[in-house]
Amino acid sequence: MEANPNQAQEIPGDNVMSEQVVSVAVLEALPGKEEELIAMLREFYTMMHGKGYCTDVLYRDGDRPDRFFHLRRWMSAGLLAEAQSDPDVHRYWQRLPELCSIPTVYENLETLFES
């Protein structure tokens, strides 16, 4: 029997990825707040990872150094819900308006494929 090239291949550990929730946000630092924002996000992302909620990646726009792209992979929808009620998480979220605006957020992206 030949493999169907249109059928998804099962990848070891793939079930973990299918449980993840992927979010992307665009952050625009307030004037003069870029470095403070980066430092706060580094601390925030470290705390989130330490609690097992998610992994985070922060990218800076090479053409606009005040603009950042945040990619978050929540470990599961349950952990996302848990984080949303965590007072430690709220303390960081409450600091964001002092440092940046967030014009775009995509909360629940569906992974179609990865290479």
Q: The domain spanning residue 40 has which CATH number?
A: 3.30.70.100
Residue 1 falls inside a structural domain: no
DSSP code at position 49? H
pTM of the predicted structure, to 2 decimals: 0.81
Q: What is the spatial distance between Cα 64 and Cα 92, in angstroms, rounded to a whole number?
A: 24
Per the structure, the complete domain to which residue 101 belongs is given by 19-107
Establish if 4 belongs to a structural domain: no
32: phi > 0 → left, psi -120 to 50 → alpha, else beta; which? Answer: left
Encoded tokens for 40:
């706060």
- Residue 33 falls inside a structural domain: yes
76 lies in some domain: yes
Question: Per residue of the chain (115 residues), what is the pLDDT tens digit?
Answer: 444 444 444 444 444 556 899 999 999 999 999 999 999 999 999 999 999 999 999 999 999 999 999 999 999 999 999 999 999 999 999 999 999 999 999 998 988 988 9
- The answer to whether residue 10 is domain-embedded is no
DSSP annotation of 75: S
